[in-house]
Structure 1
Amino acid sequence: MKENRIMALPLEGVRVLDLTSVMAGPYCSMLLGDMGADVVKIESFPDGDTSRGFTPQIQGESYCFTVLNRNKRSLAIDMKSAKGLGIVQQLAKSADIVTENFRPGVVKKLGLDYERLCNDNRGLVYASMSGFGQTGPYASRGGYDIVAQGMSGIMMMTGEPGGRPAKVGIAMNDIASGVTALYAILGAYISRLRFGQGQYVETSLLEAGLAWSQWEFGAFFGAGELPGPMGTRHRRAAPYQAYRTGDGYVTVGANNEKLWRAFCDQVCSCPQWLADPRYASNALRVEHADALQADIEAVFVKHPTAYWVEALDAAAVPGGPVYGYEQVFDDPQIKARDMVLEIEHPIMGSVTWF
């Protein structure tokens, strides 16, 4: 007989003092909380985290704030007062991890920097997230996701060819910074378990965005290529983009010769494409992506998206529908994976959680 056991979360018993606000830092500390850490979030008094004012509001609570601050306890403190500072410093003495995303230099002025706190807690893992990093000519500047996306080159390679620079639809650099800080924290914590010594780790919105642009920077340093906007196309593979159908769009990822043959023969019933010299190799298909798109869409517009999704699946060619949010959360795969839950919030009542 198989015994069902509920496993302990990996960070149960780990204490996190969270001095972050808005998105990058709260996303990082939220994930620490999801893994079982006891997260105490310190908010400025009397206004609290800036994102508390974001809409939509339900029963006076911001949905945007709430989704980034689950699994946390919160305390509003005036850290500029002697009493407030003393409370935070006392909490830091028993913390395993401290996270902060003030402008560089602010925590030192407050007396909450790593050097000050580790004097009383040698095993402390301390993580800083900022706009541009703790050193360099821009260190003291404030940074937001839009600024980091622009300065990391991402906006110049996003959008449609010939269009204005475009921001990625989500706060990519914010999330990238939070994730980068997360694995740095976990690495430092593992090191502490092995060697008994805490560490200081830091990242920034700018650097985290740069770190996610691997192929683009490889092509730039390797061949001097300047990555420009390509819509939904891939720089190194075709067909690999979203194509218009009879009632919307469908994505196709036929990025090798086996998939290309299956796509032509089984999905589109267009074996003549296999004999077309313009499409004889992946590199040539990338070169002739305009013509390839025109040929594919001339076929795809004859049927709705659902037809092509089924055809792609039957041929084992990766692809899927292009959803709006009103469709995303109704998809059976999303439901089967419990990505969306209904929970009871103590103030907001019954809410949908992602």
Structure 2
Amino acid sequence: MAAPIPRLAPVTTTAPALPPSPAMAAPIPRLAPVTTTAPPGPPSPAVVLDICPPPSTPSVPGPVPDPDGVPPLQHTTGTTTPGNPTEPAKRRSRIYPTPVAAGGPSPSPTGTDRGDPASLGGLETPTPPQEMLEGITVLDLTQYLAGPAVTRLMVEMGAEVIKVEQPPYGDPMRSQGPRRNRRSGFFVQQNRGKKSLCVDIRRPEGANLIRRLASHVDVVVENFTPGVLEGKGLDYATLSADNPGLIMASVSGFGQTGPGSDLRCFDFIAQGYAGLMDLTGEPDGPPLFVGTGLADTNAGVHAFAAIGYALFNRTRTGRGTHIDVSMVDALFHVHETAVQAPAVSDGEYRPRRQGRHYQPVSPAGSFHGPEGWIVLLCTVNQINSLWDALGRPELADDPRFDTNDGRIRHRDELTAIIEEWLARFDTDAEAIAALQEAGVPCGPVLNPADAIDDPMFVERGTVRMIDDPFIGEFPVPGFPIRFDDTLPQGDLVAPLLGEHNREILTGLLGLDGDEVAELEARGLLGSKDR
């Protein structure tokens, strides 16, 4: 920073900037923080990524009877323990790891105590840093996983997220198992810190409310089948006419254009189209799907990044933009070898299911350890470290193993040598320690339920404990991005269905209590008191 960095000549053919959008011209009123939540109702009759079909009976105002026939669980603001409405809610410090032992909070990620003035060079202790997305308001028209994964990251960065849900049951994931006290851990993990507005957008009056709200926000995120929102007057062209600075991210299975744009999609379908399933499984077995919502969350992360760039660009141009993220496109982008290698190798390389070994490198894959499975990979830069660990330096000159191509051809023999050596240890941990000491990249194959106790996961906050008013305390994945001056929020709570109807409609649209009551009486709004 001693001298300005030379800048290249700017491109001169840019369009003139628009004036700031209404969302930029003045601060948007901030709504009160989420404080309480309650268990969800039964599954929505919604079709995949589409608006629910019209109900067989008209909506009625007030709480919807639970088809399970279980009495509603009452909640009190600030309570946390199921069945004990008098116990005060516990709030975690905004730090990465949950403290694992007595003696004060965990150290900061930088190794200094942020609360100690001495660690700040004698300066007074600063006020908590502003969240990077503080002041950004997001209208969340998403359900299931791909869309909520976008706004989950945004709310942890400080954005105010208004989750729009369809009555009578809201996001179908409210009923996703496993549940405790009829409360879905899946829904809580993906929707902590959001505010719930339950409005029937199948009806023109409901869609009009959303259009009016869109003129007051910075970002809209949606994951409907392309064309659905256009039919409701909630497409980007319509919304941006009212709010030129609006950024809208559309996450769908196959994108907003092209021959597959009108197809509905779930994660595993995207895995199939993107070629991931064809590469997963044993060479002579059927294609298998990866056992997590990789296509959903991968698309969500891409949309999250794109929104950040769009917000930055808006500060320079005043313009919003429409972001189109396809689950299939985003997942196809992860192929590091399978797309280009057949052409580059003149057809000699053909991607195929690899089983427990990685096709382009040997040794690379999972190996039987004394207790379970150990994964390791050695390129040309680490192979001598493996020979040292095995106590077999002569293997470096063995013509079967002196090149990567040779090690691939003789993979079975090399696997037998490695697994025979691993069997000499009493535990996987001892074998891994010996390999790591020699400089061999390796590690255990952990079940996620066991990984939460791994010291590395706990220390970095890769797993963290959260409190929910009805589930209680349970682990969720930690926020995966580290900033040296901003920490993720640790006290976020998932909302009741329609919990913030009145707050949002009065705070952002200026409706009075009587007007909101009329909308409720007409069945346009939904809510649950649990």
| Deviation of 1:244 (Å) | 0.6
CA distance in 1 between counterparts of 2:190 and 2:220 reads 17
The answer to whether structure 1 residue 321 and structure 2 residue 444 are counterparts is yes
Which position in structure 1 is the counterpart of 2:435?
Answer: 312
Of 455, 459, 462 in structure 2, the residue corresponding to residue 332 of structure 1 is 455
SS for the counterpart of 2:340 is helix
Which position in structure 2 is the counterpart of 1:16?
Answer: 138
Letter aligned with residue 378 of structure 2: A
SS for the counterpart of 1:279 is coil
Of 199, 223, 240 in structure 1, the residue corresponding to residue 364 of structure 2 is 240
Letter aligned with residue 304 of structure 2: L
CA distance in 2 between counterparts of 1:297 and 1:137 reads 49
SS for the counterpart of 1:119 is helix
SS for the counterpart of 2:220 is strand
Of 380, 387, 394 in structure 2, the residue corresponding to residue 256 of structure 1 is 380
SS for the counterpart of 1:278 is coil
Which position in structure 1 is the counterpart of 2:203?
Answer: 81
- Greater mean alpha carbon deviation, residues 298-307 or residues 146-155: 298-307
The answer to whether structure 1 residue 348 and structure 2 residue 471 are counterparts is yes
1:198-237 maps to which residues of 2 (within 5 A)?
A: 198-223=320-345, 224=347, 225-237=349-361
Letter aligned with residue 295 of structure 1: I
CA distance in 1 between counterparts of 2:411 and 2:316 reads 52
Aligned length: 352
Letter aligned with residue 275 of structure 1: D
CA distance in 2 between counterparts of 1:173 and 1:338 reads 24
CA distance in 2 between counterparts of 1:220 and 1:189 reads 39
| Deviation of 1:219 (Å) | 0.8
1:248-290 Cα distance to aligned partner (Å, 9 max, x none) = 1111122223x2111111x111223212111112232223222
CA distance in 1 between counterparts of 2:454 and 2:155 reads 28
SS for the counterpart of 1:98 is strand
Which position in structure 2 is the counterpart of 1:152?
Answer: 274
CA distance in 1 between counterparts of 2:476 and 2:293 reads 19
CA distance in 2 between counterparts of 1:343 and 1:297 reads 40
The answer to whether structure 1 residue 173 and structure 2 residue 295 are counterparts is yes
Contact 1:233 1:241 in 2 (8 A): yes
SS for the counterpart of 1:2 is helix
Contact 1:216 1:227 in 2 (8 A): yes
SS for the counterpart of 2:339 is helix
1:192-233 Cα distance to aligned partner (Å, 9 max, x none) = 011110001111111111111132112133233331111232
Contact 2:204 2:232 in 1 (8 A): no
State the TM-score, normalizing by the size of structure 2: 0.64
Letter aligned with residue 322 of structure 1: V
| Deviation of 1:2 (Å) | 3.3
1:72-111 maps to which residues of 2 (within 5 A)?
A: 72-111=194-233
CA distance in 1 between counterparts of 2:155 and 2:371 reads 42
Letter aligned with residue 220 of structure 2: V
CA distance in 2 between counterparts of 1:273 and 1:318 reads 18
Letter aligned with residue 447 of structure 2: G
SS for the counterpart of 1:217 is coil
Contact 1:129 1:181 in 2 (8 A): yes
Q: 1:55 to 1:137 in 2, by over 3 A?
A: same
1:31-56 Cα distance to aligned partner (Å, 9 max, x none) = 11111111111011112111112111
CA distance in 1 between counterparts of 2:303 and 2:465 reads 29
State the TM-score, normalizing by the size of structure 1: 0.95
CA distance in 2 between counterparts of 1:25 and 1:274 reads 51
The answer to whether structure 1 residue 2 and structure 2 residue 126 are counterparts is no
Any gaps of 5 or more consecutive residues in structure 2?
1-117, 478-530
CA distance in 2 between counterparts of 1:269 and 1:176 reads 42
1:48-83 Cα distance to aligned partner (Å, 9 max, x none) = 111112111122211111111112111111001233
**Greater strand fraction, Structure 1 or Structure 2:** 1
Higher RCO, 1 vs 2 (CA within 8 Å, ≥6 residues apart): 2
Identity of aligned residues (%): 35
Letter aligned with residue 261 of structure 1: N
SS for the counterpart of 1:201 is strand
CA distance in 2 between counterparts of 1:64 and 1:221 reads 42
Which position in structure 2 is the counterpart of 1:291?
Answer: 413
Of 143, 147, 155 in structure 2, the residue corresponding to residue 33 of structure 1 is 155
| Deviation of 1:307 (Å) | 1.5
SS for the counterpart of 1:179 is helix
| Deviation of 1:338 (Å) | 2.2
Letter aligned with residue 2 of structure 1: S
CA distance in 2 between counterparts of 1:92 and 1:148 reads 30
Letter aligned with residue 66 of structure 1: V
Contact 1:245 1:302 in 2 (8 A): no
Q: 1:101 to 1:160 in 2, by over 3 A?
A: same
Contact 1:160 1:229 in 2 (8 A): yes
Q: Alignment RMSD, CA only?
A: 1.5
Contact 1:278 1:284 in 2 (8 A): yes
CA distance in 2 between counterparts of 1:232 and 1:31 reads 33
CA distance in 2 between counterparts of 1:84 and 1:326 reads 42
- Greater mean alpha carbon deviation, residues 334-343 or residues 142-151: 334-343
Any gaps of 5 or more consecutive residues in structure 1?
none
- Greater mean alpha carbon deviation, residues 299-308 or residues 25-34: 299-308
Which position in structure 2 is the counterpart of 1:125?
Answer: 247
SS for the counterpart of 2:337 is helix
